[in-house]
Chains A and B, each alone.
Chain A
Amino acid sequence: MKKLNRNQVKNASTYILVTAAFLILQVLSTQGKLNSTTKGFLVPACAYIVLAVSLNLLVGICGELSLGHAGFMGIGAFTGIVVTSLLAEAVPNGVLRLVMGMVAGGVLAGVVGFLIGIPVLRLRGDYLAIVTLAFGEIMKNVFGNLYLGVDENGLHATIKSEGLTLAEGGKMIISGPRGATGITKLSTFAVGFVLILLTLFVVQNLINSKEGRAIKAVRDNRIAAESVGINVTAFRMKAFVVSAFLAGMAGALYAMNYGSITASKFNFNTSINILVFVVLGGMGNILGSIISATVLYILPEAMRGLQDYRMILYAVVLILVMLFTWSPKMKDIISVVTDKVRGVFRKNEKEAASHE
């Protein structure tokens, strides 16, 4: 048998871990061991994992700071809602309809990512960050004022503040600041799990391919990468579009888990939260993103009992984790402590050995 290299082992272990977690939760859920609150966490957690992994592709692998990931999530969410409610009669199968909505959301997010990427990817670093922030805010603003409805004459949409008047029997799908209401809750944990697998497949294959190595080369030294003939813009664009596509799919999955959703959900804070998942999980570390997205999504929810204090605790935990993992001084202290602990163990071992 061919021996697996380190990367392949790492990738395989990620798949195994995710599958194991899914199976355990699924078994617990069918046996009725999970209460309804925990069950409610499953689909959003899947969506956040996909969002974190896709943003990690951009921030960790590609080295581009993006503060507008929620914008792509929003595109996916609203496209998914529109597509699934239009297909409500044509496609009776809920899962199939959900998948179609997710694909449509992902494709549209990817297309928008491509279009916005053409001009925006000329910028770098903090300037790219602020432009993505601006993009996210524009998306939120547009969706917050979009009225979209369907009646016998077809699909109607407007961004005028007076809204839409539909013919008799028409149905509003998105109604401006009140958002999309009356969404059929199609999302299931199983679909979320499959989406995570797809994301892992796409992102890990991309990272470990020739393209992935080129992208990393661009991140580590753009000028050197350029000088050996790597088309920097093309590779950055590829990562950007893939990331937007996955975020769009996750957005559709997320939105279809709720009865109603407003554009303000996809604001700057959501983008920042996803970025926090990525940074705390470790830049470029896919498994890290998965774990930190899960833990950090559940943490504030689990602390609901602390009421007013939970977000302040979350903030303190966030700051402390950053200080402990990044500060050079802390690193020194930690290494001194671990050395000492190791020293004690070694001493004990030696003593034990001398006693024999």
Chain B
Amino acid sequence: MKIIQYLINGISIGSVYAVIALGYTMVYGIAKMLNFAHGDIIMVGAYISFCVTNYLGLPVVVSILAAMAVCTVLGMLIEALAYKPLRGTPSLAVLITAIGVSYFLQNAAQLIWSSSPKNYTSVVTFQPLRLVGGQLVITGEVIVTIIASIVIMVGLTWFTGKTRTGKAMRAVSEDREAAELMGISVNKTISTTFAIGSALAAIAGVLLCSTVPTLQPTTGSMPGIRAFTAAVLGGIGSIPGAMLGGILLGIIETFSKAYLSPQFSDAIVFGVLIVILLVKPAGLLGKQVQEKV
């Protein structure tokens, strides 16, 4: 029974990683940049939701919507101010700018909300589910997280597969120049990608802080790195890959904490990443691109 309990908890934390990883992977696939500020958008989203419920006393749903709205605007703003002027420059230049943005967000949050951790009240209010005579306890957070991430994944798959904007996004990620020649506005598409990724990050922030309630300016950085690892594990640029990578990472993390060694879970997770990349250099579901001479 224990093993099923761990499995469910692993899937739950993995779903949060998956939602964050989707943001990384979409931005990477389309703008070809590693957006290291993505983890900090999560933190901003969580703070906004915290403020709306605790200071304004508005219902949870409003706080989540507010967090999504603020993060969407923030994501598009960052893209327009910091990343867009650097389009076409070496990826390392954009990477360093993203790191600058990440520092900026963390320190701005520290100025606004101070560095002392806040206690985030979970957005989930219903009682945990007890199965098999109380041996298997599934908390409300776990259920909500898993359902939310399934909805997001299905929605995103439909969006990129069926809608015009989604198709444009896939086209830009496939071949930017060809897409431009077909009349797709690359700038608009990239901006939309950032908007969607940041809105997802806001949801991820709410889900993350509902499970782990301490909220501080550095809340987003470690889950951000984990989710980035998940995106690479699944094959960066691939949407199903990000989901698979996130959930796998969550399961590996929970199991290594439970069965192998609680303090070495980081080493185990990153060790697995190295091994998988050595066997499949483009990640689990990534496309192996043949180099043309």
A residues with a Cβ closer than 8 A to B are: 59, 65, 119-120, 122-123, 126-127, 129-131, 133-135, 137-138, 140-142, 144-145, 159, 161, 223, 268, 272, 275-276, 279-280, 283, 308-309, 311-312, 314-316, 318-319, 322-323, 326-330
Contact = CB atoms under 8 A, between A and B. Distances in A.
Interface in B198-245: 225, 228-229, 232, 236
Residue among A316, A319, A330 with max Cβ neighbours from chain B (10 Å): A319
B96 A130 contact: no
Interface in B107-136: 107-108, 110-111
Contact of A135 (B93, B111, B263, B274): B274
B1 interface: no
B184 interface: no
B103 interface: yes
A311 B103 contact: yes
Contacts, number: 127
A119 B106 CA distance: 35
A297 B257 CA distance: 37
B252 to A, nearest CB: 13
B270 A134 contact: yes
Q: Is the interface of B mostly helix, strand, loop or mixed?
A: helix
A226 to B, nearest CB: 10
B129 to A, nearest CB: 33
Interface in B79-111: 82, 85-86, 88-93, 95-97, 99-101, 103-104, 106-108, 110-111
B277 A137 contact: no
Contact of B103 (A130, A133, A134, A318): A318
Nearest to A130: B232
B293 interface: yes
A120 to B, nearest CB: 7
A330 to B, nearest CB: 7
A144 B261 CA distance: 14
Contacts of A323: 82, 85-86, 97
Nearest to B89: A326
A140 B266 CA distance: 9
10 contacts: A119-B278, A123-B281, A130-B228, A131-B274, A134-B274, A135-B274, A279-B93, A314-B103, A326-B90, A328-B88
Interface in B243-293: 262-264, 266-267, 270-271, 273-274, 277-278, 281-282, 291, 293
B41 interface: no
B99 A276 contact: yes
B101 A130 contact: no
A120 B274 contact: yes
Contacts of A119: 274, 278
Contacts of A65: 92, 95
A189 B273 CA distance: 40
B186 interface: no
